[in-house]
Amino acid sequence: MTKILYTDNMQRTEFFAQIISLEDGIYLELDQTAFYPKSGGVDCDLGKIELLVDNHIFQVIQVKKKGSKIIHQVDAPGLKEGDKIKGTINWPRRLELMRYHTAAHVLSGVFFKEGNVKVTGNDLILGQGRIDFNFPDFDRNKIEKFVARANELIQKDLRVETFYMKREELDSDPSLTKLVMGLPSSIKNVRIVDIKGFDKQPDGGCHVSHLNLIGKIEISKIKNKGKNNRRLYFVLK
C-alpha cells in the first residue's frame, strides 16, 4: 500500500521512495508518493523520477488510480522493482490545478448555500474548470450572481485548512456534502477541506492555503445539459 504524502503537505514538491511493483517497464507503484493521481475530476500531477543509483531522469507523464493503487507512468523503460528514486513534482502545474480545485470548492459552497444546488460532476484541467450542477431552473442571471459572490469571498482571502473527522460525524451533517453522489461508504475517516468561516467539504485533493491565490473566476460559458443539469465553464485570471 502506497503512503500518500500530498494530503498532509500539499506544498511538498520532492520526496524519496522505492519502487514496489512494475508493469510493462513503465507503470510504477511506489512505497510512498507526493504525486496526485487523476481523481475526483481533477487532473493529475506530472514531474520526474530520478534513479538514485545513476541519476538517470524519467519523466512522469501520467498518474492514475488502479483499484487501491497509485500508478505512475514514465516515458521510457529502465527502472526495476526495488529501485530507490527521488520524485519531483512539476510545481507550476500543481499550483494551477490547486487554484482551480479550490475555486471549484468556493463555487460549490456558494451554489449550495445560496441556491440549495449540488454538484453532479466536474473536470478541472490546466487553463479551464468545468462544474455541472443539479439546477432545475436555467437562470443565467442567478449563476452570474453566484460567481460574483464567489469572487467576493476570494477577495476576503480566507484561509484553507484540512482536518479529519469520523464518518458518523460527517453523516450527521448533510450540509458538509455538496456532491449529489455523496461519499463512498468505504471511507470511514474523512479528510475535510475547510475554507475558514465559509465552507467545509470532504475531499482528498490538493488546495491553495489562502483564497487570494485563486485569482478571479471568470465565466467562459454556461450550458443547459438537460432537464436539471447546468454546466459552468470558467477560467482563472
102-157 pLDDT per residue, tens: 999 999 999 999 988 989 999 999 999 999 999 887 788 999 999 999 999 999 99
Give the domain CATH number at 114.
3.30.980.10
Q: How many domains does the chain contain in total?
A: 2
Closest among 88, 89, 83 to 19, alpha carbons compared:
83
Q: Of 29, 56, 89, which marks where a domain is finished?
A: 89
User: Is 44 in the same domain as 115?
Assistant: no
Which domain range does residue 13 map to? 3-89
pLDDT higher than threshold 80 for residue 182: no
Q: Residue 219: pLDDT band by 50, 70, 90 thresholds?
A: very high
The reported pLDDT for the residue numbered 136 is 80
pLDDT higher than threshold 80 for residue 179: no
User: Is 69 in the same domain as 103?
Assistant: no
User: Is 7 in the same domain as 55?
Assistant: yes
Q: Residue 188: pLDDT band by 50, 70, 90 thresholds?
A: confident
User: Is 151 in the same domain as 81?
Assistant: no
If one compares 185 and 182, the residue with the highest pLDDT of the two is 185
User: Is 80 in the same domain as 130?
Assistant: no
The reported pLDDT for the residue numbered 180 is 62
Give the domain CATH number at 61.
2.40.30.130
Q: Of 67, 89, 111, which marks where a domain is finished?
A: 89
pLDDT higher than threshold 70 for residue 98: yes
User: Is 77 in the same domain as 100?
Assistant: no
User: Is 52 in the same domain as 144?
Assistant: no
User: Is 146 in the same domain as 182?
Assistant: yes
3-state secondary structure of 168: helix
User: Is 147 in the same domain as 223?
Assistant: yes
Closest among 59, 55, 13 to 33, alpha carbons compared:
13
Mean per-residue pLDDT for 2-12? 95
The reported pLDDT for the residue numbered 1 is 85
User: Is 35 in the same domain as 103?
Assistant: no
User: Is 113 in the same domain as 212?
Assistant: yes
Q: What is the pTM of this model?
A: 0.94
Residue 66, φ and ψ in degrees, nearest 5 = -135, 95
Q: What is the number of residues in the chain?
A: 237
Catalogue the E-assigned strands of 67-170.
Answer: 69-74, 84-89, 118-125, 128-134, 160-166
* Centroid of chain to Cα 19: 25
User: Is 54 in the same domain as 119?
Assistant: no
Q: Of 89, 116, 143, which marks where a domain is finished?
A: 89
With residue 32 as reference, give the H or E element that holds it. Answer: strand 32-33
pLDDT higher than threshold 70 for residue 43: yes
pLDDT higher than threshold 70 for residue 233: yes
The reported pLDDT for the residue numbered 186 is 75
